Amino acid sequence: MIGLPSEPGAVVLHIEDNPSNRKVVRHILRSTSYYLLEAVDGEAGLAMAREEKPDLVLLDMQLPGMSGYEVAAALKADSSTRGITVIAVTASALSGDDARVLDAGCDDYLAKPFRPNDLRQRLADHLPDSPE
Ligand code: MN
């Protein structure tokens, strides 16, 4: 990267324990104006969300220790983080998962596996983007 963007993009916090999945999202977001933060588990992700106040959290629901469901509930229970958009990334599109993530407080969801454009579109649904 050379220099700073003239207009800072929206901040996306990706909470995901799988390094390969983090790498995929990192790669996809390179072609956007989003600024990416990463956390490797629920506890670290929740702490980072409280500290950095990202515009959006992309949340893996299958996390070791604190689950994505617990992270979403904690974010929505706290007035200082309630306004952060939470997109759940679910391991399957099994019937019932969708309702479950929305019940946990997530604003939207994306089923794995997803295509790069699926993720970009889902983010664009919630955030302003200005691709270069
Ligand atoms: Mn996981």
| pLDDT mean across residues, the chain | 90
Quick check: helix, strand or coil at residue 126? helix
How many angstroms separate the alpha carbon of residue 21 from the centre of ligand 1? 9
**How far is Cα 3 from Cα 40, in angstroms, rounded to an integer?**
28
Q: pLDDT for 19-70, tens place per residue?
A: 999 999 999 999 899 999 999 999 999 999 999 999 999 999 999 999 999 9
Side-chain-side CA neighbours of 132 within 13 Å: the count stands at 13
How many angstroms separate the alpha carbon of residue 60 from the centre of ligand 1? 6
Q: How far is CA 90 from CA 29, 36, 58, 62, 69, in A?
A: 19, 20, 11, 8, 11
Structure tokens at 99: 């309702």
**How far is Cα 126 from Cα 18, in angstroms, rounded to an integer?**
24
How many angstroms separate the alpha carbon of residue 41 from the centre of ligand 1? 9
